[in-house]
C-alpha cells in the first residue's frame, strides 16, 4: 500500500487549515495525487509539521467537496467520478454560468473587460508559440474573472466548486493545441457577448463552450468506457 507524501512545509502559523486545504486541493486538481495512494491524517501532519487538527479539518472539507473519499480505518483517497456525474455537472454549469455571465455583462467594470482582452491575447500567443503549459492557468483566469464580474458571491462559490469537479479531467486535454484552440474560441464568443451586452447570445455561447469541454473530457479521460 502506498501513502501520499505532502512534500511541503508551512512556515507561518496563520490559517494553517486553509493552507493545508489549498495545497491538497491544488495537488488533486493538478492530478499530482494518484488515486491508489492513501492520505493519512497522522502522516500528513507529521510531514507538514503541524498538529493533526488542521489536517483533519482540511481532509474533511475536501471530502465534503467530493474530491476525496474516506476509507474505513485507513484514511482518504482521491475520488474518481463517473461519466454520468460529468454530464450532471455540465448541465448544472450551463445554467449557473449562463446566469453568472449574464449578470457579468450587466455589471462588469472597464478594467475587467480590459483584463479579459489581455487574457485572450495571451492565450492566443501561448497557443501559437506552443506554450500550452500556461494555457490551463489562463483558462482559469478567464472563468474566474467572468464569475467575479457577476458580483454574486453565491454564484462564484458554486462555479468554483463545479469547476473543481471537472478540472482534474479537463487538464488532461487542455495541454493539447486543438483543445486549447477550441476553448479559446469559446472564451472569445462569450467575451463578445459580454462586451456587446448580448444577453440572448450568452446562453448559447456558454452552452456550446461547456459541451465542447464535456466532449474533450469524454475523449481524453473516459475513452475506455
- pLDDT of amino acid 225: 47
- Using DSSP bridges, classify how beta strands 68-71 and 37-38 pair: parallel, antiparallel or unpaired: unpaired
Residues 6 or more apart from 21 whose CB is under 8 A from it? Answer: 57, 58, 61, 62
Beta-carbon neighbour count of residue 174 at 10 Å? 21
Query: Which class would CATH give 2-78?
Result: mainly alpha
CA-derived radius of gyration, the chain: 19
Output the pTM of the full model. 0.79
Indicate the SS3 state at residue 9.
coil
User: Alpha helix locations (H) across the chain?
Assistant: 16-29, 41-48, 52-64, 83-107, 110-128, 135-149, 153-174, 177-195, 199-221
Q: How many CA atoms lie within 13 A of 142 on its CB side?
A: 28
- Burial letters for 45-63: b for 16+ Cβ neighbours within 10 Å, e otherwise? bebbebeeebbbbbbbbbe
Residues 6 or more apart from 179 whose CB is under 8 A from it? Answer: 173, 216, 220
Enclosing H/E stretch for 70: strand 68-71
- pLDDT of amino acid 77: 95
Q: How many residues are given for the chain? A: 225
Task: Write out residues in the chain with pLDDT < 50, as ranges.
Answer: 13, 225
Domain ranges across the chain: 2-78, 83-221
Annotation: CATH topology of 83-221: 1.20.120
Q: Which of 144, 173, 132 is nearest to 31 (CA)?
A: 173
Indicate the SS3 state at residue 108.
coil
Beta-carbon neighbour count of residue 125 at 10 Å? 12
Q: Which of 191, 102, 210, 195 is nearest to 141 (CA)?
A: 191
Amino acid at each position: 500500500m502506498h501513502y501520499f507524501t505532502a512534500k511541503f512545509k508551512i512556515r507561518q502559523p496563520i490559517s494553517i487549515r486553509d493552507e493545508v486545504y489549498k495545497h491538497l486541493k491544488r495537488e488533486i486538481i493538478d492530478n499530482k495525487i494518484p488515486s491508489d495512494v492513501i492520505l493519512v491524517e497522522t502522516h500528513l501532519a507529521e510531514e507538514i509539521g503541524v498538529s493533526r487538527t488542521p489536517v483533519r479539518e482540511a481532509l474533511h472539507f475536501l471530502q465534503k467537496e467530493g474530491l476525496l473519499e474516506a476509507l474505513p480505518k485507513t484514511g482518504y483517497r482521491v475520488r474518481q467520478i463517473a461519466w454520468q456525474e460529468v454530464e450532471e455537472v455540465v448541465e448544472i454549469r450551463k445554467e449557473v454560468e449562463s446566469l453568472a455571465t449574464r449578470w457579468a455583462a450587466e455589471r462588469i467594470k472597464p478594467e475587467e473587460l480590459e483584463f479579459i482582452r489581455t487574457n485572450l491575447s495571451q492565450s492566443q500567443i501561448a497557443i501559437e508559440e506552443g506554450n500550452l503549459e500556461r494555457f490551463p492557468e489562463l483558462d482559469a483566469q478567464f472563468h474566474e474573472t467572468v464569475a467575479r464580474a457577476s458580483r454574486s458571491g453565491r454564484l462564484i462559490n458554486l462555479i468554483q466548486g463545479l469547476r473543481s469537479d471537472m478540472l482534474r479531467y479537463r487538464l488532461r486535454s487542455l495541454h493539447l493545441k486543438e483543445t486549447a484552440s477550441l476553448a479559446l474560441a469559446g472564451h472569445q464568443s462569450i467575451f463578445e457577448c459580454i462586451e456587446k451586452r448580448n444577453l440572448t447570445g450568452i446562453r448559447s455561447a456558454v452552452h456550446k463552450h461547456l459541451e465542447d469541454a464535456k466532449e474533450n473530457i469524454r475523449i481524453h479521460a473516459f475513452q475506455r468506457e
